[in-house]
Amino acid sequence: DGGITQSPKYLFRKEGQNVTLSCEQNLNHDAMYWYRQDPGQGLRLIYYSQIVNDFQKGDIAEGYSVSREKKESFPLTVTSAQKNPTAFYLCATLGPSYLAHSYNEQFFGPGTRLTVL
């Protein structure tokens, strides 16, 4: 949506299995983000990447891993170490500043709903 693709929309996995969520963007944005949203909750930052080959942990990185080998792609792996992985996962990019001292808006993908059985 809006140049950000997340697939699949719904994902089911058995407990103990690793799973990788895809996020692709064609907006040519440098910074990308992964958020987790639980029912009725806000957005919590898992990982973010300012530029290719660089990424930083967010507030809830434990049990997750990422890579940023290409500008367009920022896949998230939910490992078996994540104790409660069932959630809605949102990928986002950060748009460029158009004015000096202005800040950027985030563009979100449609999300992936992960259910671990």
Residues that bind another protein (CB under 8 A): 1, 31, 33, 35, 40-45, 48, 50, 56, 58-60, 90, 94, 101-103, 105-111
17 or 110, CB closer to another protein? 110
Q: Which residue has the tokens 């973010």?
A: 48
Q: Name the minimum Å distance from CB 5 to another protein.
A: 12
Q: Name the minimum Å distance from CB 4 to another protein.
A: 9
Contact 66, 11 (CB under 8 A): no
**Beta-sheet strands, E only, within 1-117:** 4-7, 10-13, 19-25, 32-37, 43-51, 54-57, 64-66, 76-78, 87-94, 106-108, 112-116
16 or 42, CB closer to another protein? 42
Q: Name the minimum Å distance from CB 23 to another protein.
A: 12
